[in-house]
Amino acid sequence: MFEKIKMTSPLVEMDGDEMTRILWKMIKDELILPFVDLKTEYYDLGLPHRDETGDQVTKDAAEACKRLGVGVKCATITPNAKRMDEYKLHEMWKSPNGTIRSILDGTVFRTPITIPSIKPVVKNWQEPITIARHAYGDVYKSVELRVNEPGTAKLVFDGESGQHEEVVIHNFKGEGVLQGQHNLDKSIRSFAHSCFKFAIDSKKDLWFSTKDTISKKYDGQFRQIFEEVYNENYKDEFAKLGLEYFYTLIDDAVARVIRSKGGYIWACKNYDGDVMSDMISTAFGSLAMMTSVLVSPDGNYEYEAAHGTVTRHYYKYLNGEETSTNPIATIFAWSGALRKRGEKDGIKELMNFGDQLEGACFDTLNAGVATKDLVNLMEGVEAKQVNSADFIACIRKNLEKRLGC
């Protein structure tokens, strides 16, 4: 009889929507509850319950992450017009991830889960590359104008003290377009702290890239804040661990990333991170094999899968059809959260459980047992396609073997 691993404090459990909600329960029942005396504070972020609570549940869950320090989140629907009808919503609620991010004030780190039988498109990549995306401002909080006639566009700042500054953006001779962007020193500094902390945590070098040769004040501020934060807080620890902080221009970074062996964290401004994370995940194999963790500057962690609720598979599931949805990224959200809980509470068994759970996933995949999205990518093993339930059952067998039960 296996003695379940005890926990001393709870983690925040955020349930979600559609196919990932189905996987969530299967993962808990088969891979967590038989082995861990699980303590969670449960928040149902499924769209119906968000609607019932006027989205208060999302805010409560984010506050709980701040209080308890570790959370695990299932993928959730971000409503659009179609979802308004489908779920008869009272309001088009905001993206839960956006809400949680703005309450935790964090940075999102995305890392591909790699296996020997799935080769990255870039053949010299030997280790995963983690993208750290700044999640505030720039083009995502910009305002835009369409210009229909000749005239002068200006950038104007009116300070509360009476300070007045203005610069001419352009003297338009005809039609054109305009955009105003901003960012905040506070947010950039948080971003920097999260990146350096995560680099130390995962013992990886940190790269940072902007375009400060062209954008001397705006991108220049990003570069300068990173340098200050590094010199004042992290330089010694980096030296002790033999880690490097490396700043370069974004175009130079792109070229170096392609030539590199991988194995570092690449911090990107909001837009660069949006674009580059899709490039990195696709080049490493699959969105279903990408972890995502939100790290706040004061050291709170929220783990999730990088993909969405896999709607297409859910509709098949509702039709009674068999689905072969990949649960790996969601399992890694749990293993990451349990390991971090163990680390924060000094419970070695819980940290080890996180490792073994991930190990059991690798054992399964390395034996060629895989979901539909992966079978065609695998090389050098005889790949066998299974449905989600059989895949999870196989992981459970391997986990039991590893834990000696």
Among 12-20, 88-96, 226-234, 266-274, the segment contacting Mg ion (CB under 5 A): 266-274
Interface with ligand NAP (CB under 6 A), residue from 5, 100, 129, 310 = 310
Among 6-14, 94-102, 267-275, 390-398, the segment contacting Mg ion (CB under 5 A): 267-275
Identify the bridge partners of residue 172 per DSSP, sorted by sequence position: 151
Interface with Mg ion (CB under 5 A), residue from 63, 274, 390, 400 = 274
Could you tell which of ligand NAP, Mg ion, none binds residue 99, using a CB distance below 5 to 8 A set by kind? Answer: none
Query: Counting contacts by CB under 6 A, is residue 312 touching ligand NAP?
Result: yes
Rounded CA gap, 293 and 27, in Å? 19
Residue number with CB closer to Mg ion (205 or 274): 274
Q: Which two tokens stand for residue 383?
A: 């790949």
Which helix (H) or strand (E) is 61 found in, with range?
Answer: helix 56-68
Query: Counting contacts by CB under 6 A, is residue 309 touching ligand NAP?
Result: yes
Q: Map residues 65-84 to x or -, x wherever contact with ligand NAP holds by CB under 6 A.
A: ----------xxxx------
Which residue matches tokens 């104008």? 145
The DSSP annotation for 229-241 comes to HIIIIIHHHHHHH
Counting residues that bind ligand NAP (by CB under 6 A) gives: 17
Q: Of 238, 304, 305, 287, whose CA–CA distance to 265 is shortest? A: 238
Interface with ligand NAP (CB under 6 A), residue from 308, 362, 383, 403 = 308
- Distance in Å, CB of 326 to ligand NAP, minimum: 3
The DSSP annotation for 280-346 comes to HHHHHS-GGGEEEEEE-TTS-EEEEESS---HHHHHHHHTT-------HHHHHHHHHHHHHHHHHHT
Rounded CA gap, 29 and 63, in Å? 27
- Distance in Å, CB of 108 to ligand NAP, minimum: 10
- Residues at the interface with ligand NAP (CB under 6 A): 75-78, 97, 287-288, 304, 307-312, 325-326, 373
- Residues at the interface with Mg ion (CB under 5 A): 274
